[in-house]
Structure formats: C-alpha cells, structure tokens
Amino acid sequence: MVAIDISGVEYRYGDHKAVDGISLTVEKGEFFALLGPNGAGKTTLLNMLMTVTHPSAGHITIAGQNAVTETAQVRRSLGVVFQDPALDDRLTAAENLQIHTVLYALPRSGRADAVAQALQWASLEAARGKPVRSFSGGMKRRLELARALMHEPQILLLDEPTIGLDPQGRRHLWERIASLRQRGMTVLMTTHNLAEAELCDRVGIIDQGKLVAVGVPRDLIEAHGGGPGATLEDVFIALTGKQLFDESATGRDLMVGFAKRGGEHTR
C-alpha cells in the first residue's frame, strides 16, 4: 500500500525550479531517507508534503488524501519533527504536550493520559514540570518526537532529526525511532548523515531539484559506488559531484543500537 505518492511535482520561485519534475512513492511501513546538498530542493519537497506550500505542478497524495485539496485530512495523518526546534522554551514539557492535545482535538477526557504516556515514551517523566529552556538538545528532540506522535499519525516526517545532537542524544533518539519502525510506521526523513541513511529501507538522492537516484542503499552502492569497500558517500559524490557534509555526524558506531533494534526491516 502506498503511503506517499509524488507525481511530476514542481515548485518554482519565479523562473527557478527548486523542485523539477520529481516522482516518487513511499510504501506503508517504509523507512525512506532523502539525501541532497544544501539547496538541492529536499526541504522544499518536504514543505509540500507537510502542506506548508503547494506544488506549482504535479500531484501529491498522502495516506490517500490530496495534499492540496484535502489539507486538513492530510495534516491529521502526519507527525512532523522540524529541523529547528518548534517548542516553546518558556513552557514546561507537559505544557508543550498539552497544547498539542488541543490543536489536534484529542478527546478532553484522555488528554492527561496522553501527556503522561508521551512523557513516559520520551523518558521525560521526571522533567515534566521543568521549563524546556533547561533541556539538553537530546531531551528537546525526544519531546518533539513524542509530541508529533500524540495524535497517532500514519506517517512521520523528520527534517534532519539528529542535527546538532551529541552522541548520546543521537543514540537515544534513534532508539525511539527504531521502536516506531518495529511498529510499522511510515517514516520519511531528510538527513546529511550517511551512516543513518544506509540503514534505511530506501534512499533518494536529490540534486538541483531532480531526483537522480532511488534505491536500496546496498544496491545503489553496488551500481554507483565504484568497487569493493564503497559507501553511500561514494555514490553521492559520483551522482552529484559534491560531498555531503554533516557538521554533527559522529560515525557509524552511533547507529549500533538502531541497527540492532530496527535493522531487521532494512532490505
């Protein structure tokens, strides 16, 4: 079953095509990574999936709903974690979650339990009454992820979810994402971390607004890596002529917990 269907999508800024004729499907339960250098168009594409902007041409369907004409239904199907923190630092962890229960019209009688469950899932019960400004980067990311899941979305969109996190923060975040993967949730993320991308089901590489390659990481490496010992970085350089720089990347060892918990789903 298709969770995300992108067909011939374009997005123009004047005469410039930030997204140029992209077609892509993401299956239900799939973990899909979008890679691309800065300015390649991946954030613009993600914004269209979020219904923040509408395509200049083409069609997008999310969970069977048209992303332009059925925006409200699409948004209810999505959980989103943005690259930049979207929490109110002045409020406590619990208060940030309570706002989400109202925005997504969760039943009033179940809101307190929903907040408690989200805090437990994020391992933040002891910090429920503390202002978010006192949290580490990893704690904020876990809170954002827990908040994005409170309305039980079908699809999770992650924009550079681990950027800026220290090794411990990354590990804790991926442990939680791995648990979602085991539950069969559809996840689409953008990332600059190639070690993370290699453990996804499939990878799409975007350059200059075009989707230049899509496939299972090991298949892309065999086809474009250039020989034994090649990595996804070699594929990326071969296809785009650029290096993908992740200022906070810390190596494959950070992905061990993720691989052990969710790796059996990687094709």
Rounded CA gap, 179 and 194, in Å? 21
Q: What is the DSSP letter of 179?
A: H
User: Which residues neighbour 84 within 8 Å (Cβ) at sequence distance 6 or greater?
Assistant: none
What's phi and psi for 128, nearest 5 deg?
A: -60, -35
Rounded CA gap, 99 and 15, in Å? 40
**Closest alpha carbon to 216 in 208, 226, 228, 224:** 224
Question: Residue by residue, what is the 3-state secondary structure of 67-132?
Answer: CCCCHHHHHHHEEEECCCCCCCCCCEHHHHHHHHHHHCCCCHHHHHHHHHHHHHHCCCHHHCCCEH
**Closest alpha carbon to 170 in 185, 160, 155:** 160
Beta strands 202-207 and 65-66: pairing type?
A: unpaired
- Whole-model pTM? 0.86
Instruction: Report the SS3 class of residue 147.
Output: helix
Chunk the chain into consecutive blocks of 10 residues (it has 267) and report each block's average pLDDT, rounded to whole numbers.
96 93 96 90 93 96 96 94 90 97 94 96 95 94 93 93 83 84 90 86 95 96 89 91 57 34 39
Q: In the prediction, which pLDDT does 170 show?
A: 83
Angle between helices 137-148 and 111-121 (to 10 degrees): 140
Hey, how many other C-beta atoms are within 10 angstroms of the C-beta on 77?
Answer: 18
Which two three-digit tokens encode residue 238?
A: 């071969």
Side-by-side strand order, sheet with 202-207: 78-81, 155-159, 186-190, 31-35, 202-207, 210-215
Rounded CA gap, 56 and 51, in Å? 13
Q: In the prediction, which pLDDT does 259 show?
A: 35
Domain edges within the chain: 2-250
The CATH number of domain 2-250, selected from 3.30.70.20, 1.10.3720.10, 2.60.120.260, 3.40.50.300: 3.40.50.300
**Closest alpha carbon to 134 in 96, 98, 90:** 90
Q: In the prediction, which pLDDT does 245 show?
A: 57
Instruction: Report the SS3 class of residue 222.
Output: helix
C-alpha dihedral, 99 to 102 to 106 to 112, nearest 10°: 50
Rounded CA gap, 222 and 232, in Å? 10
Rounded CA gap, 71 and 77, in Å? 10
Q: Burial code of 39-62, b = ≥16 C-beta within 10 A, e = fewer?
A: ebbbbbbbbbbbbebebeebebbb
